[in-house]
Chains A and B, each alone.
Chain A
Amino acid sequence: MRLSGISYRAGSELWLRDVDLSLAEGGINVLLGATLAGKTTLLRILAGLDRPSTGSIRKGESDLTGIAVRQRNVAMVYQQFINYPSLTVYENIASPLRVARKPAAHIEARVAQLAATLRLTPFLARYPAELSGGQQQRTALARALAKDAELLLLDEPLINLDYKLREELRAELKQLFADGHTTVVYATTEPLEALQLGGHTTLLAEGRVLQSGPTLEVFRRPATLEAARAFSDPPLNVIPAGMLADSVRIPATRTPASEIVLGIRAHEFSLAGAPGRAALSGKVELAEISGSETFIHLARDDVRLVAQVPGVHDLALNQLCTLYVRPASLYGFDRDGRLLFAPES
């Protein structure tokens, strides 16, 4: 499926601007972006719920632009779980199969299989109101899967669930789609979720596509500073190259060093010095311990840094602290934010 030149205008506001995008067929396509980046708008256009102001959606030779959702084989799951309140879990999952007039034996087998995959078997006789949030969302997912759609659109489907449940369902979903049968589009605000899902990732910001490609490639080679920022959690550390140029050699480019901006991902910092590593010192603003790791927030002049280092480190407020980084893990960007160099992977 290919989207070309898609824009969407609501009143005086442009919600999507000139979006070009190809979906990897039979794979997971992650739409990653902050709230209001245009993820939901794009999903609704893909579903045929909204018609784009300009541009087209094509699949092979056929033009799908503006073709209503009912005439296409699409399923969508929203942030808020939507189920039929008056139907049992069994009937909720079975409903798309009944609409498609499948034989009774087929329906029974398919519902049993989906319920087993999504661990809903003990709850088939219950009504949605008698379920926990996680069980309700799994029911909504099972119903979407029962439709056996070519295109499955998931709009932050795990956001309203508990952290731990999210982690488990994410792994299950990934397995579920591994057979390559369904093209999945998965919208999220969380970079780590994109990394765990893998597949392809499209970075969206303010209605524009920043970058699109295989998830790890986009993560490791962001084309711009904006893309690198959008795909970093904790936030990307950004410093002028001059801050390090005295201690290490940064890769040579045609751009003078004074105009280069360096990007450092938080997990690349270490508290241990070693030959060849660049050193950055500052005052500790905060040390957050997350169990296995410590997030160190450092202030140096008006630059703020975050390091994610393994182990537990109790650092006092305002204490002087030095972070080390391998020159090979640096990103370089020019004045306009274009990537100059990236770590080799």
Chain B
Amino acid sequence: MARIDLEDVGHRYAGATDSWALRPLTMTWNDGGAYALLGPSGCGKTTLLNIISGLITPTRGKVSFDGRDVTALAPEARNIAQVFQFPVVYDTMTVFDNLAFPLRNRGWDATRLRRRVEEVADILELRADLARRARALSADQKQKISLGRGLVRPDVAAVLFDEPLTVIDPHLKWLLRRKLKQIHQQLQLSLLYVTHDQTEALTFADQVVVMSEGEIVQVGTPQQLFETPAHRFVGHFIGSPGMNFLACEWSAGAATIGGVRLQTSSAREPPSGAALSIGVRPEYLELAPAPGPNRVPVRVAAIQDQGIHTMVQVEIGASLAWAKLRSPASAARSATTFAHLPPQRCALYADERRVP
């Protein structure tokens, strides 16, 4: 296991002289951490993963594992394990031999090898299948073998996952996600997980790195990203639907919408001239039948009963916003005329950035 340091690391693909696939960044990945790299396609997350694995040599900057410069080393020389989107399994081998493969390659003796393979098989609930040929297994079981092969070596610097659950059905995703999390708690490996799926990223990682257009826009715990997005992109990208941004004005030391003064969690004054909005999550926007502090008038535009939630779309000033309610649809219909913005649950945004 290792600490991974990136120092001023940036990358441009050949031919793209004026644009960075990954803008130069400096960052440390702590030993034993579970990290997710989250962002839409083209945001640079796979480029960053490939720079760490050694599949890509960055255009500039230095990559070190525990202080040792590995920038020029090939993937095989970096002592990392990788799990890809599609299972990579030797069909003709047994499950045991598939799992043992990375250890045999490194000359482990038979007793120690068996113990480790069985330990990993236990965690993944593959113990009963060890003697079966991989060919006979279902897609999700094969992906479990891929995971197991990635996890079997205790001495790897890090295990890198590139969208490992994309091809798995929702029911099995639950099982495999749970397994991954347990493995991290039991084996204390450094894990780095690339995904575009916020649920996977937030449930898997202690620290989530959100990327957009070749840049890291925020690093934080799932709770921080949800409660206090530093950037409108993070507010939008995390959460389903994303954060509401209500256009507002600044007058006499307070944010106002349609003349109503609104308190937010932002303590500072926004820079003058910036486009201002109040960010509030659909989960925290409350609907009310009467005026009151921090309430603005609304018009209900749409109500959707989605079984688990009721989604209510409201017009607030010039903006449209969603409220996500756990109560039945009938509750929302009755005389909604105001929205309450809980002051501690909303913040002021100047252009793209949160005002602290």
Residues of A within 8 A of B (CB): 34-35, 132-134, 162-165, 167, 189-192, 195-196, 198, 215-216, 219-220, 233-235, 265, 267, 285-286, 288-292, 295, 297, 306, 310, 312, 317, 345
Contact = CB atoms under 8 A, between A and B. Distances in A.
A292 B226 contact: yes
Nearest to A168: B241
A162 B41 contact: yes
A35 B240 CA distance: 24
B165 to A, nearest CB: 12
A290 B222 contact: yes
A289 B139 CA distance: 27
Interface string B140-178: 000000000000000000000000000001110010011
Contacts of B41: 132-134, 162
A216 B307 contact: yes
B198 A163 contact: yes
A267 B40 CA distance: 28
Contact of A288 (B171, B181, B241): B181
Given A133-B41, A190-B170, 20 more contacts: A162-B196, A164-B40, A164-B196, A164-B237, A167-B240, A189-B170, A216-B305, A267-B326, A285-B178, A286-B178, A286-B181, A288-B177, A288-B204, A290-B199, A290-B202, A291-B223, A291-B226, A292-B226, A292-B239, A306-B174
A286 B182 contact: yes
Contact of B223 (A219, A285, A289): A289
Contacts of A219: 307
A297 B239 CA distance: 21
A267 B185 contact: no
For A288, A295, A297, the residue with the greatest tally of chain B CB atoms inside 10 Å of its CB is: A288
B239 A291 contact: yes
A189 B203 contact: no
B289 interface: no
Nearest to B306: A195
Contacts of A215: 307
A219 to B, nearest CB: 5
A198 B203 contact: no
B196 A289 contact: no
Nearest to B240: A167
A195 B307 contact: yes
Interface of B: 40-42, 139, 169-171, 174, 177-178, 181-182, 185, 196-199, 202-204, 222-223, 225-226, 236-242, 281, 283, 304-308, 326, 328
A47 to B, nearest CB: 24
Nearest to B236: A164
Contacts, number: 90
Residue of A163, A192, A220 ringed by the most chain B CB atoms within 10 A: A163
A310 B236 CA distance: 19
B240 A233 contact: no
Nearest to A220: B307
A297 B182 CA distance: 11
Contacts of B240: 167
Contacts of B174: 234-235, 306
A238 B223 CA distance: 30
Contact of B222 (A286, A291, A310): A291
B241 to A, nearest CB: 7
B40 A165 contact: yes
Contact of A290 (B203, B236, B305, B326): B203
Given A163-B198, A198-B304, A297 B178 contact: yes
Nearest to A297: B178
Nearest to A231: B307
Contact of B308 (A189, A267, A288): A267
11 contacts: A35-B139, A35-B169, A165-B40, A195-B306, A195-B308, A198-B304, A198-B306, A288-B177, A289-B203, A291-B202, A310-B326
Nearest to A215: B307
Nearest to A190: B170
A169 to B, nearest CB: 13
A296 B41 CA distance: 30
A210 B232 CA distance: 43
A331 B240 CA distance: 27
Contacts of A317: 185
The 4 closest A-B CB pairs, nearest first, are: A291-B226, A288-B203, A162-B196, A195-B307
B138 to A, nearest CB: 10
Contacts of B222: 289-291, 312
B164 to A, nearest CB: 15
A216 B236 CA distance: 28
A101 B283 CA distance: 50
A221 to B, nearest CB: 12
Nearest to A230: B171
Given A195-B307, A291-B222, A292-B226, A163 B197 contact: yes
